[in-house]
């Protein structure tokens, strides 16, 4: 489950707890995507996809198209990626790496897919723009906590 509008998650603990009660998921991603002014893949660590319908127009992906691109990328060996709905669009980023330029291979693969996508390059960094709220803490100490992961009980 993804909350695509980034809000101060510490002040919205009640809303997050309500989301956990309404789902069987063990974690919730909270994302913010910041488009790059100049589309240089070496500066990006997140990709937003839309379906290109003309030179200057695009539409959002249908659920079927969203699932197709995910399956295609997984078959191609891109296993450590997170695919989320960001509003009506599909946001893709590396689950464990937020360094700039980490998606160069993915960018080339998406460009080669027969469906023509409008690819919007941007940034989304751990703890600033994306976090994972988990139901149960799986780390023993704060030093072992993965970057970007937060336990719902620790949010005050």
pLDDT tens-digit readout, 22-78:
777 788 777 788 889 888 888 888 888 888 888 778 888 888 888 888 888 888 888
Query: Does 102 share its domain with 27?
Result: no
Query: Does 49 share its domain with 76?
Result: yes
Query: Does 74 share its domain with 107?
Result: yes
Category of 77 on φ-ψ map: left (φ > 0), alpha (ψ -120 to 50) or beta? left
Query: Does 101 share its domain with 143?
Result: no
Rounded to whole angstroms, the Cα distance separating 148 from 130 reads 7
CATH code, domain carrying 74: 3.30.70
Percentage of the chain beyond pLDDT 90 is: 0
- Using 50, 70 and 90 to split pLDDT, how confident is the model at 13? low
Range of the domain at 77: 34-123
Query: Does 58 share its domain with 101?
Result: yes
Rounded to whole angstroms, the Cα distance separating 46 from 120 reads 9
Mean pLDDT of 14-23: 73
Q: Is the pLDDT of residue 2 over 80?
A: no
What is the predicted pLDDT for the residue at 7?
Answer: 44
Provide the domain count of the chain. Answer: 2
Report the candidate in 97, 84, 91 with the shortest Cα–Cα distance to residue 46.
91
Q: What is the pTM of this model?
A: 0.70
Contact 45, 100 (CB under 8 A): yes
Query: β-pairing, 27-31 with 2-3?
Result: parallel
Q: Is the pLDDT of residue 83 over 60?
A: yes
Q: What is the mean pLDDT of the chain?
A: 79
Query: Does 104 share its domain with 155?
Result: no
Query: Does 23 share its domain with 49?
Result: no
Query: Does 86 share its domain with 117?
Result: yes
- Using 50, 70 and 90 to split pLDDT, how confident is the model at 9? low
Query: Does 88 share its domain with 28?
Result: no
Query: β-pairing, 117-123 with 46-52?
Result: antiparallel
């Amino acid at each position: 489950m993804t909350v695509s509008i980034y809000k101060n998650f510490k002040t919205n603990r009640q809303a997050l707890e309500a989301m956990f009660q309404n789902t069987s998921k063990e974690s919730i991603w909270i994302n913010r995507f910041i488009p790059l002014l100049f589309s240089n893949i070496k500066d990006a660590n997140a990709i937003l996809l839309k379906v290109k319908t003309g030179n200057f127009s695009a539409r959002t992906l249908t659920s079927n198209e969203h699932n197709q691109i995910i399956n295609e990328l997984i078959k191609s060996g891109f296993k450590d990626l997170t695919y989320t709905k960001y509003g009506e669009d599909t946001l893709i980023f590396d689950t464990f790496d937020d360094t700039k330029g980490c998606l160069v291979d993915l960018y080339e693969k998406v460009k080669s897919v027969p469906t023509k996508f409008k690819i919007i390059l941007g940034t989304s960094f751990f703890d600033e723009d994306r976090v994972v709220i988990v139901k149960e803490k799986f780390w023993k100490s704060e030093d072992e906590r993965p970057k970007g992961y937060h336990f719902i009980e620790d949010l005050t």
